[in-house]
Amino acid sequence: MDELDSNFKYEIAKRHGGEKIKNCFSCGTCTASCPVRKIDEKFNPRQIIRMAILGMKERVFKSDFVWLCTACYNCQERCPQDVLISDLMAVIKNLATEAGYIHPSYVQIANFVKASGRVYVLEDFDNKKREKAGLPFLPTKLEDVSKIFEMSGLDRYIKK
């Protein structure tokens, strides 16, 4: 069993968006509002918040749900205790990343952006279509983006 970290909720509460974590009285309004939950019942913001309050740091960091949260703010708008749930999920993602738990799907996207400068592939074929439509040529690679990754320190989070 993973060790509990009783300091975890305070770590979250120190960051913008996490301040009100301890207000949660586990009503479940967030869970009932969550579109990710509608796709799969195992995703549950109330449970993540409860686990964070209990100090289950490692399990929270490794939870797929935290990374699948779409930041839609449905939950945050409805929370009767003013817990900033969407912002809190971002706080958890940031803490997880700092602790080396970045989700593999995020690593993959970041590596892709680093290599091409885009979140989607742009090929010569696309430029031919653009030309036909009277649109200007776009470079298929943006070299400076990989320099930004290196200079900003983002690189160290996505290196395998």
Chain residues binding ligand SF4 by CB under 6 A are: 24-30, 33-36, 45-46, 49, 69-75, 79-81, 83, 85-86, 89
* Range 76-114 burial, b when 16+ CB lie within 10 A, else e: beebeeebbbbbbbbbbbebbbeeebbbeeeeeebeebb
Residue number with CB closer to ligand SF4 (45 or 57): 45
Residue number with CB closer to ligand SF4 (24 or 91): 24
Closest CA to 85 of 45, 122, 124: 45
Residue number with CB closer to ligand SF4 (64 or 144): 64
What's the min distance (Å) between Cβ of 17 and ligand SF4? Answer: 11
What's the min distance (Å) between Cβ of 105 and ligand SF4? Answer: 15
Reported in sequence order, the residue ranges of 63-155 that DSSP labels E, i.e. its strands, are none
Give the number of other CB atoms < 10 A from CB of residue 39: 10
What's the min distance (Å) between Cβ of 93 and ligand SF4? Answer: 11
What's the min distance (Å) between Cβ of 21 and ligand SF4? Answer: 8
What's the min distance (Å) between Cβ of 13 and ligand SF4? Answer: 13
Residue number with CB closer to ligand SF4 (46 or 57): 46
Residue number with CB closer to ligand SF4 (29 or 116): 29
Q: Output the CA angle 15-16-17, nearest 5 degrees.
A: 105
- 4 three-state secondary structure: coil
Distance separating alpha carbons of residues 68 and 117, to the nearest angstrom = 23
